């Protein structure tokens, strides 16, 4: 007989806020007791329609994971990693999602220098096209390797990915060379 596993994804939060329309109903403690695995969606700090910000800034992920670990045992907890970025047209906040690979290719195509925010451990760049200013935040090998270090630092069971089908060859190469995968 096969054993069933209950794997639950929950939105990220840094405190209990029952009035929040998105995360208010997520009872981390109750979900942590009932589920076999819980993935905290540590993604979309910078989100479509919002201002241009890092997708998963490291400082925020730490806050989310510290709160989650107060309610969910580390042997059940996963952190979600983004495989994408966003291209915001400013000031309208019109947003286009990009794979991590396409975000890097766009920087090359526009001749734009990529900067790296060390506190957020996130790359970004700005460019101008068709009389519009754009800001792009995305993930690269530097940001994703910092996220993997969080898994070890907090002794989590692992990571999960959002938009696994998006191109991010650096991530898969990093896994092949550095991560022990249990099959």
Residue 57 lies in a domain: yes
Residue 144 lies in a domain: yes
Residue 2 lies in a domain: no
Instruction: Give the integer Cα–Cα distance in Å for 51 and 95.
Output: 10
- pLDDT at 66 (0 to 100): 97
**Which residue, among 114, 177, 115, has the nearest Cα to 145 in the 3D structure?**
177
Residue 152 lies in a domain: yes
**Count of structural domains, the chain:** 1
- Show the domain range for 107: 7-178
- pLDDT at 55 (0 to 100): 96
- pLDDT at 183 (0 to 100): 65
- pLDDT at 173 (0 to 100): 87
pTM of the model: 0.91
Tens place of pLDDT per residue across the chain (183 aa): 678 999 999 999 999 888 888 888 889 999 999 999 999 999 999 999 899 999 999 999 999 999 999 999 999 999 999 999 999 999 988 999 999 999 999 999 999 999 999 999 999 999 999 899 999 999 999 999 999 999 999 999 999 998 877 888 888 888 888 877 766
The CATH number of residue 133's host domain is 3.20.20.80
Instruction: Give the integer Cα–Cα distance in Å for 67 and 61.
Output: 10
Task: Give the angle 79-82-85 at the CA atoms, nearest 5°.
Answer: 155
In DSSP notation, 95-151 reads EEEEEHHHHHHHHHHTTPPPEEETTTTEEEEEEEETTEEEEEE---HHHHHHHHHHH
- pLDDT at 24 (0 to 100): 81
Residue 113 lies in a domain: yes
Residue 106 lies in a domain: yes
Residue 183 lies in a domain: no
């Amino acid at each position: 007989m096969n054993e069933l596993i209950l794997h639950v994804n929950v939105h990220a939060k840094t405190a209990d806020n029952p009035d929040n329309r998105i995360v208010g109903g997520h009872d981390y403690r109750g979900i942590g007791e009932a589920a076999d695995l819980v993935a905290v969606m540590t993604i979309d700090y910078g989100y479509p329609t919002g201002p241009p910000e890092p997708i998963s800034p490291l400082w925020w992920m730490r806050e989310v994971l510290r709160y989650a670990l107060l309610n969910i045992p580390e042997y059940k907890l996963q952190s979600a990693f983004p495989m994408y970025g966003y291209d915001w047209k400013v000031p309208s906040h019109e947003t286009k999602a990009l794979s991590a690979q396409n975000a890097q290719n766009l920087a090359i195509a526009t001749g734009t220098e990529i900067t790296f925010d060390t506190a957020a451990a996130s790359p970004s760049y700005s460019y101008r096209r068709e009389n519009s200013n754009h800001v792009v935040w995305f993930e690269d090998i530097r940001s994703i390797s910092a996220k993997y270090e969080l898994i070890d630092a907090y002794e989590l069971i692992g990571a999960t990915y959002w938009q696994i089908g998006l191109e991010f060859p650096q991530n898969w190469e990093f896994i092949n060379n550095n991560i022990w995968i249990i099959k």
